[in-house]
Amino acid sequence: MEVIKVEEHQLAVLQEISRVTFIETYAQANTEADMQAYLAAHFSIEQLQKELQNPASYFYFIQIDKQVVGYLKLNVGEAQTETQEVAALEIERIYILKSHQGKQLGQRLHEKAVQIAKQKKVNYLWLGVWEKNPKAIGFYQRMGFVAYDKHIFKLGDDLQTDLLMKLEL
């Protein structure tokens, strides 16, 4: 198992893992139209390339035997999806293929996020997680995150509530 930085020549792999893991996680609880609208807006090659080229965003793959089975996206500064302190790091995405969940891979990506947060000397990590995703909420609680607020997340035309969670460093 290894965690590697995503390079621009890996955009197609990033798009595939992004789309597959998002569909696996949310398709059963959302309409096809809302899912397709979100995928088109957030996981196009153009959008992912723009995010990957942003110096305040960081993408990492987690691989087993050179096969990408999940990924992590982090944001600092202006790249954060919600206004935070300068000394904050956002975990925007941690996704693992369903077939590889339960193997400590999410924990490895979380550890990578903490390592980068410490390198950047931030005060805390934060994230948004859908209030109807108890599995993810439980994972983040086990990692030490606590809920501190809420915000609206737009999935297609559906306005959903995310819990904002924070881990003080």
Q: Tell me which of 60, 71, 95, 140 is the catalytic residue.
A: 140
- Give me the residue label for tokens 């983040």: 140
What DSSP character marks residue 142? H
Q: Is 26 an annotated catalytic residue?
A: no
The tokens for 19 are 């789309």
Three-state secondary structure readout of 57-117: EEEEEEEECCEEEEEEEEEEHHHCCCCCCCCEEEEEEEEECHHHCCCCHHHHHHHHHHHHH
Would you name the residues annotated as active-site residues? 140
